[in-house]
Chain A
Amino acid sequence: MEKIELREPISANQTNDLAVNQVAETHHHKDEVGAKIGMWLFLFTELLLFGGLFLLYMAYRLQYTNDFIIAGQELNLVMGTVNTIILLTSSLTMALSIAAIQRGKKNLSILFLISTILFALAFLVIKYFEWTEKFHHGIAPNAPELLSKPNGEIIFFGMYYSMTGLHALHVVIGLIVLSFMLFFLLRNRINENDYIKLENSGLYWHLVDLIWIFLFPLFYLIH
């Protein structure tokens, strides 16, 4: 039983790949790689969450190819494209915001973060108009007008509302998270030496963008 001795901590190169040279005193020290691993794992769960819906989409698109094409025409391509560009741009400003804080440029970072938030809002506003317009035309879940269409089209809009709805929910969550980050930035809780929070929020935001990159062709570009 004496095989494990208690010794002074040994130097880092004696440890294996990722194990931190962890000793009692450094216990409370921030482990940034650890935090990032945690964040990525969380992103995978998000990916698989949407994965389930994409799977359903694949099955139904195969089953109802023609209905999907017809129903797809009803979506507004211009709004979809504009929203794609907005979201991509917000991703850019997000990345730039992190790049700025890495270089210690706090004000620039704040500026970029605010623009990200504004872009996110713009995305939601457009989404709102898109949905309400559909609703006015009677294309809403369980609305008699939609129910009178063929099954494939009902399913198309079912998928459309579920997937873009879930995505929009993620945008809203992202918005809240980013607002907190803004607050932290202003309070200097995020700074040149400690910006892992902002980085992780950025990762989340890019994932939201990533999902949209696939949603866009699957719903708006059907022909």
Chain B
Amino acid sequence: MNSNFAMMNNYLTYKSKPGILSWLLSTDHKRIGLLYLVSMVVFFWVAVTLGFLMKLEMLTPGKTIVDAQTYNTLFTLHGMIMIFLFIIPGIPAVFGNFFLPIQIGAHDVAFPRLNLLSWYLYIIGGLFAIVSLFLQGGPIDTGWTFYVPYSIRTTTNVILPLLGAFILGFSSILTGINFITTVHRLRAPGMTFFRMPLFVWALYATAWIQVVATPVVGITIVMVIVERVFHVGIFDPALGGDPILFQHLFWIYSHPAVYIMILPAMGVVSEIIPTFARRTIFGYKVIAFSSLSIALIGYFVWAHHMFTSGMSDTSRMVFSLLTFLVAVPSGVKVFNWVATLYKGSIELRAPLIYVMMFIFLFSIGGLTGLVLGSLSTDIHVTDTYFVVAHFHYVMFGGTAIILFAGLHYWFPKMFGKMYNEKVAIWATPLIFIGFNMLYFTMFILGYLGMPRRYWSYLPEYQTLHIISTVGSWILVAGLVLMFGNLIHALLKGKPAETNPWGGVTLEWTVPSPPPVENFEKIPVVENGPYDFSTINGETNGKN
């Protein structure tokens, strides 16, 4: 690589416009990725604080620190921010924006200006939600699921946050459109579909869900607003509306949305494991197709959130069956990842440790998903802490942990700095122990019959709640250590090499940090994405 070209055009230092504007008006996909990263971390921090407060409240039955109304707004905001502002944009908006074009050998995404618009919509949507906190009526208290008729009856500020969610949906759709088009149009010569890195495959599948699922929740949200303002009777049972239809429409989006959250994370895992095992991924095509089939089947299972809603028994049966089937492709991925470690040459570095933690925690989360997909058991544990435990395992133990893994994997590339790996590794046991104390207890609580969204509870649940709360403190310690380490590296880190881990996908061929247009000349691709044969020497490896 021509180092002159790189030195002059590093995307971080490049100045196209005066001051901060060269960031806020930049259409460079890498800068937009960083804009997302910064804003997301801020929102995440807010939501995490809310979660932390909720756990404090749960220390004792009855009032501990806040009253019931405040608690209700706490979990609503916690859920909304985590879902709409943190985990759904999450990996696609940050790593997808940053690495998708580089990994397929392109200069940028297909519609760079649209990309920037997505970010602005994201910020506007977030602001809507935040502004509503300070208006007359108080913060929204419906839970992140906005079930009618409560959401059309409550006197809190519902309309503004709903509008915010709508706008965020728009932002997500635009990102999806951008990624699909980019994958179809901007692959480098020789980069066939089956030479794309699996992260790209995952993003591609995700983008399709974003495009075809998000509009449905968009219209649902709009209808709730219309219902509140004009009382048209679409959902309001007092006028003949059917609240269960709302739940259908809501979950038609919101179930696929959980795969919007997890698929990109699975893509990142498929990148990290081969790099540290120095070998090609086991069953490339199967993994690629499992991403597509998760996206596809994931579209057919939404009503497993409604097993007790009063929908028809036929429906319950069909959706339970389909739910079980959607678990299979995820299982295939897990098995393939583990098989990729077989006979590898494994270097246990920080990103890989996070990935191992992910495999364990996500498997627990996913396997308890089977308990929820099963009709008779779900009826008992639905809307209890069992569900709360399930989704924290998959969302936090799954996606968020991989977000951390991805940060540690790509940090040197993104910022050209290296962090202290020892500290990064030391944070993991804290996170692991804290996490399991915090959330595993919730499985037990749930099976014992402790419903969710409860501000107060029966005294017999207290011991478990205390363990859980203490777990949240340990977890916080671990996360602070981890983030602190990265922030320290940002300020004081040693310069990073072009390819610190020995990865073979395209991003490791460009300098750290990458130049403005990524490649001086678009590369020509002649191999599959995880071809380590040259690194290992000619004679070894391939069978």
Q: A residues touching B (Cβ–Cβ < 8 Å)?
A: 1-10, 14-16, 18-24, 27, 31, 33-34, 37-38, 41-42, 44-53, 55-56, 59-60, 63-64, 141-142, 147, 150-152, 154-155, 157-159, 161-162, 166
Contact of A31 among B110, B502, B506 (CB under 8 A): B110
Cβ contact within 8 Å between B107 and A24:
yes
Determine whether B534 belongs to the interface, using a CB cutoff of 8 Å to chain A. Answer: yes
Chain B residue at minimal CB-CB distance from A160: B232
Cβ contact within 8 Å between B233 and A34:
no
Residues in chain A near residue B193, CB distance under 8 A = 16
Cβ contact within 8 Å between A48 and B216:
yes
Determine whether B37 belongs to the interface, using a CB cutoff of 8 Å to chain A. Answer: no
**Complex Cα distance A90/B522, Å?**
45
Pairs across A and B, CB under 8 Å, 6 listed? A1-B534, A5-B523, A9-B521, A18-B185, A49-B215, A155-B234
Known A6-B520, A56-B234; contact A154-B239, beta-carbon cutoff 8 A: yes
Known A3-B527, A23-B522, A162-B232; contact A34-B181, beta-carbon cutoff 8 A: yes
**Complex Cα distance A60/B248, Å?**
14
Interface 1/0s, chain B 160-199, versus A by CB < 8 A?
Answer: 0000000000000100111011001111111111000000
Cβ contact within 8 Å between B211 and A4:
no
Chain B residue at minimal CB-CB distance from A19: B187
Residues in chain B near residue A42, CB distance under 8 A = 173, 177
Cβ contact within 8 Å between A52 and B249:
yes
Chain B residue at minimal CB-CB distance from A41: B177
Closest-CB distance, B407 to chain A (whole angstroms): 23
**Complex Cα distance A63/B245, Å?**
12
Residues in chain A near residue B234, CB distance under 8 A = 56, 155, 158-159, 162
Cβ contact within 8 Å between A27 and B239:
no
Contact of B509 among A1, A38, A44, A50 (CB under 8 A): A1
13 new A-B contacts, CB < 8 A, other than A38-B110, A48-B213, are A3-B526, A3-B527, A9-B522, A22-B186, A27-B107, A44-B211, A46-B215, A47-B215, A48-B212, A48-B216, A141-B233, A142-B232, A154-B239
Contact of B232 among A18, A48, A161 (CB under 8 A): A161
Cβ contact within 8 Å between A162 and B522:
no
Residues in chain B near residue A38, CB distance under 8 A = 110-111, 114, 177-178, 181
Residues in chain B near residue A48, CB distance under 8 A = 212-213, 215-216
Closest-CB distance, B141 to chain A (whole angstroms): 24
Cβ contact within 8 Å between A162 and B223:
yes
Determine whether B260 belongs to the interface, using a CB cutoff of 8 Å to chain A. Answer: no
Closest-CB distance, B276 to chain A (whole angstroms): 15
Known A3-B534, A7-B524, A59-B242; contact A44-B231, beta-carbon cutoff 8 A: no
Interface 1/0s, chain B 48-65, versus A by CB < 8 A?
Answer: 000000000000000000
Contact of B185 among A3, A34, A45, A155 (CB under 8 A): A34
Closest-CB distance, B521 to chain A (whole angstroms): 5
Residues in chain A near residue B191, CB distance under 8 A = 16, 19
Closest-CB distance, A181 to chain B (whole angstroms): 18
**Which residues of B (64-81) have their CB < 8 Å from a CB of A?**
none
Closest-CB distance, A202 to chain B (whole angstroms): 18
Cβ contact within 8 Å between A19 and B188:
yes
**Complex Cα distance A9/B521, Å?**
8
Cβ contact within 8 Å between A52 and B177:
no
Closest-CB distance, A63 to chain B (whole angstroms): 7
**Complex Cα distance A34/B181, Å?**
6
Known A34-B181, A53-B219, A56-B249; contact A158-B189, beta-carbon cutoff 8 A: no
Closest-CB distance, A199 to chain B (whole angstroms): 16
**Complex Cα distance A170/B347, Å?**
56
**Complex Cα distance A15/B526, Å?**
11
Residues in chain B near residue A37, CB distance under 8 A = 180-181, 184-185
Cβ contact within 8 Å between B504 and A3:
yes
Residues in chain B near residue A50, CB distance under 8 A = 219
Cβ contact within 8 Å between B535 and A33:
no
**Complex Cα distance A168/B188, Å?**
43
Closest-CB distance, A155 to chain B (whole angstroms): 5
Closest-CB distance, A39 to chain B (whole angstroms): 9
Determine whether B134 belongs to the interface, using a CB cutoff of 8 Å to chain A. Answer: no
